[in-house]
Amino acid sequence: MIEGLYEAHLPVEDLEVSIHFYKKIGLKLAWRDEETAFFWIEENKSWVGLWEGKEYKTPYHPSLKHIAFRVTYENMKQAMAWLQSLQIEVVPFGGRTSIEPFVRPQQGNASVYFQDPDGNSLELMCPVEVPDAYKQMTDKLSLEEWEELLLR
């Protein structure tokens, strides 16, 4: 029955500032009104709604202020350079101190994190094929460490 995620929503303080940011990361404006703007993530498949209002003050929690955008593994390898070219600061995840993309073998994915102007947590994420021998590994590995592990 369920085929994917159609929409997600984030609170923002200033819709104009947010519209500029989301266009900068390559999303296409689908429509807007005075307090809301929707951007296609995948045109006619999924979008993110930005809602201007005081809710942007809600303290961060991933269940409230987080979206992960799907990318390819090859694009994940270029994510740091791409974000830096857009003058977007990459931020560490959780208790990590490193900002570089990392692999979660146990979950079969890789991620890198950044924030929008309102502190909403944005993530670039891709699936990673994990050999059976590493599927129980809970360590988070940099892409370089991951690729070295696969060469062993």
74: pLDDT strictly greater than 80: yes
**SS3 letters across the chain:** CCCCCCEEEEEECCHHHHHHHHHHCCCEEEEECCCEEEEEEECCCEEEEEEECHHHHCCCCCCCCEEEEECCHHHHHCHHHHHHHCCCCEECCCCCCCCCCEEECCCCEEEEEEECCCCCEEEEEEECCCCHHHCCCCCCEEHHHHHHHHHC
Percent of all residues in the chain with a pLDDT value above 90, rounded to a whole number: 91
Q: Are residues 76 and 116 in the same domain?
A: yes
Is a pLDDT exceeding 80 seen at residue 2?
no
pLDDT at 102: 97
The reply to whether 5 and 38 lie within a common domain is yes
Q: Which domain holds residue 146?
A: 61-151
> Residue 3 — pLDDT band, cuts 50, 70, 90?
confident
Q: What is the percentage of the chain residues whose pLDDT exceeds 70?
A: 100
Residue 31's domain is classified under what CATH number?
3.10.180.10
Output the pLDDT for position 53.
97
93 with 125, same domain? Answer: yes
For residue range 27-41, list pLDDT tens digits in order: 999 999 999 999 999
Q: Are residues 78 and 139 in the same domain?
A: yes
The answer to whether residues 33 and 20 belong to one domain is yes
Q: Which bin fits 94, alpha (ψ -120 to 50), beta or left (φ > 0)?
A: left
- Using one digit for the tens of pLDDT, what is the confidence trace for 48-66? 999 999 999 999 888 899 9
Shared domain check, 146 and 110: yes
Q: Could you tell me if 37 and 79 lie in one domain? A: no
Which pLDDT score is estimated for 25? 98
Of the pLDDT bands very low, low, confident and very high (cuts 50, 70, 90), residue 95 is confident
Q: How does residue 94 score in pLDDT terms, banded at 50, 70 and 90? A: confident
- 36 and 98: one domain? no
Domain end, chosen from 37, 57, 77, is at 57
Average per-residue pLDDT for the chain = 95
What is the number of domains present in the chain?
2
